[in-house]
Structure 1
Amino acid sequence: MFRFDMDYGNSVIYCYEMQIETAYRRKGLGKFMMETLENCAKHWQLEKVILTVLNNNINAMSFFKTIGYILDDSSPDVLEKAEYKILSKCTL
């Protein structure tokens, strides 16, 4: 699930949810879907793709970092003790 959005003044695609059945993981489908979102963002000249990952989802955190996503400036501060992080990848 994704949508075109404004995030702190940036035009972005926000990936709200991506779920892949266990049997189909590690076959390139997640990477393909994220590359498709990144290509959409580039096509419409949006600044980045943003997503939220729960801190306890180690596999997802590792996956997104492997494909180039970094901690976004809008991610909650350590002192806020949030249960999630916001990651992003610039597309311009």
Structure 2
Amino acid sequence: MARPKADLPPPEALRALADGEGRLAVRVTPGARGEGIEIEAGRVAVKVRAKPEDGKATAAVLELLAQALQVAPSKVEMLRGATSREKLFRIPPA
């Protein structure tokens, strides 16, 4: 059975939440039933199926963000939060 496609907001909505230097704060929920990105009250919440072990959840979040922004994963850089649920990423401008 194929996994359902992740629920992703438009790239412009995510870029609008980044600061002037392209930093985007994200709250991560690892081990979720489904994958997706939600914008709630001006905050970005990312849910991934991957468990928080050996950086798997962080890698899944980076991949999902890149997919939502329609850029290569190498263009999204994690600045802070490798072992935390609160992460900070640098995203490329539009």
The structure carrying a bigger helix percent of its residues is 1
TM-score class, shorter-chain normalisation, is 0.3 to 0.5
TM-score by length of 1: 0.37
Provide the TM-score with structure 2 as the length reference.
0.36
